Amino acid sequence: MIESTHGAFLRKQPPGWRKWGSTLLLLLVLVWAFAGTQFNPVELAKGFPKMIEMAQRSMPPDTSRIFSPQAYGLPPELSWQETLLPLPLPPELGEIRERWWYNTWPQTILGGTIQTIQMAIAGTFLAAIFAFPLSFLAARNTAPHPLCYYTIKSVVNFLRSIPDFAVGLVLISAIGLGAFTGTMALAFATTMVLVKLFSEAIESIDPGIVEAIQATGANHWQVYSFAVVPQVMPEFLSFVIYRFEANIRSATVLGLIGAGGIGLLMNSDFRMFQYPQAAMSVLVLVVLVMAVDYGSAKLRKLVI
């Protein structure tokens, strides 16, 4: 019996030529890929001294852009209390304070960093609001009709193929530069991703719980509320937290095209060859990403 089983196992194995053919095909694909990218380690080695020179010119980072009051360009007409606190002011002074908050403050490292966080929070929240109902229409076991399922699924798959960078460029041409454009680009791209993740989570629920709730005579909405949503909500929250982490990085990339946040400052500093200032922006971004990753990991443990 053991010998017959062993023989059957050997007969199921692919022939040796198939293994060698697959390996050769993989090697050809790799060679083709590296050739298409003009991969050249020699050029990388030649450029390494320039990278060292750039790193040296960036040291030490310009910390004055964070700690110096002059870096924030406080209006001379107002005291720092009148600028930073919501104190009642005459209309002309209130307009000066508003201009500072909406124009000058986002151009500072601290302001740009906070704006990046705001973009990620607002974009993720909007995406979660829109993705939640759409995901039930894009799930095979909760869609009201197969036509609805295939339509929503196809549209989401198509829109998800559009990167948020491209969406940001389109929105910039429509509504201009700024954090609002970046937020909407993040919301659009994140909605498509969350619909896919949410719908897959819905399709993997335990049908036994749904049948048990239906056996009690519950209507359609009660089945959703007591059998479907409780099963998928921990995964939903985990996906939203994960996308918030990703949106911190995406908001920075969108800033490079003028969609607000600290990425806009980094782009400006590198273009002006202000390497110490750019190094400070990069350092703040690294700290921000590490803090968000740590905080989201703790939050994920609480909700799962």
What would the pLDDT profile of 214-255 be if each residue is shown by its tens digit? Answer: 788 777 787 878 878 888 888 898 899 889 988 998 888 888
Q: Report yes or no on 67 lying in a domain.
A: no
Q: Report yes or no on 12 lying in a domain.
A: no
CATH number at residue 175: 1.10.3720.10
Quickly state the pLDDT bin for 9 (edges 50, 70, 90).
very low
The reported pLDDT for the residue numbered 14 is 55
The reported pLDDT for the residue numbered 128 is 94
The reported pLDDT for the residue numbered 167 is 87
Quickly state the pLDDT bin for 143 (edges 50, 70, 90).
confident
Q: Report yes or no on 94 lying in a domain.
A: no
Q: Is this model's pTM higher than 0.75 or not?
A: yes
Q: Report yes or no on 27 lying in a domain.
A: no
Q: Report yes or no on 164 lying in a domain.
A: yes
Total structural domains within the chain: 1
Q: How far apart are CA 257 and CA 119, in angstroms?
A: 15
Q: What's the whole-number average pLDDT of the chain?
A: 84
Domain containing residue 284: 112-303
Average pLDDT over residues 130-141: 90
Q: Report yes or no on 75 lying in a domain.
A: no
Q: Report yes or no on 210 lying in a domain.
A: yes
- Whether 300 shows a pLDDT value over 80: the answer reads no
Quickly state the pLDDT bin for 13 (edges 50, 70, 90).
low
